[in-house]
Amino acid sequence: MTIIIAVQSFRQGTGKTTVVANVAACLATQGKVVGVADLNFPAPTLHLPFGVSMHPRTHHLNNFLWGGCHIEEAIVAVPLPSGELGRLFLLPASINPHDMMRMGRSAAHVPLLNTALQEFAEACALDVLLLDLHGGLHDEVLLAMAMADVLWIVLRPDVQDFLGTSISLDLATRLAAENVALIVNEVPPSLDEAQVAQTVRQTYGREVLTVLPHEPEIAALASAGVFCWRWPRHPAAERYQQLTTALLHHG
């Protein structure tokens, strides 16, 4: 049975896609069959760290939702580093501006998302499926939050993120979302990480899975690769590995 993990943030720019890419990479490294789906339709970028070119790709998640292709035609197999035992598959969203606007003009595609994700999981026999959601609370975000087995909300130690996360958590409660936890990202070195985790935990009454510091190496990578594959022995990569190990143990 596929474990579905939705990764959400109230605002864009929290590093949510970086979290999704690195968690997926670590899971695949540990021998799992992993899928990642880009549900960030207004600003899709999940293909970038995996080095997948969207030109001139015509089959993608948007195309499936509009009845233009089978799900198998939209799926991309992502090559793993040499020697890794797992498998990784990407279900990308269209980067065509016309397609992005079309998705925003109508919510007709939303009911089909559940079908798309189920077919993706079945076609690739996925152990884990990670959903990279758009920042905010769009219709497809709410659906994904409700259907996921696990919901991770990513926030930075920022006043606006704290306020927005309260709204996300309130909606998650209303939607009866399961296994909701928080990831604090981009914590500057001037802040004590343990204190940040304690503050977030006390503020929301939710589990803090991990605190990820701001890393110049991740910033320098600029989404042009997967950090945990590039520097697997870096302390930040070890935190992602610990996060995925805990996920598998819990699951």
Long-range contacts formed by 72-79: CB under 8 A, 24+ apart: 72/123, 75/120, 75/123, 75/124, 76/47, 76/50, 76/52, 78/50, 78/51, 78/52
pLDDT at 250: 61
Alpha helices in 35-131 (DSSP H): 61-65, 71-74, 97-105, 110-124
pLDDT at 2: 97
pLDDT at 251: 55
DSSP 145-177: HHH-SEEEEEE-SSHHHHHHHHHHHHHHHHTT-
Question: How many C-beta neighbours within 10 Å does residue 125 have?
Answer: 11
CATH class, range 3-250: alpha beta
Start-to-end C-alpha separation, the chain = 11
Q: How is the beta sheet containing 76-78 ordered, strand by strand?
A: 76-78, 87-91, 33-39, 128-133, 3-8, 150-155, 180-187, 207-213
pLDDT at 111: 85
pLDDT at 55: 82
pTM given for the model? 0.95
Q: What single letter denotes the amino acid at residue 151?
A: L
The domain spans of the chain are: 3-250
Which CA distances in Å does 50 have to 78, 130, 166, 176, 199?
7, 14, 32, 33, 34
Query: Which of these, 11, 28, 111, 113, lies nearest to 62 by C-alpha position?
Result: 113
**Regions in the chain scoring below 50 on pLDDT:** none
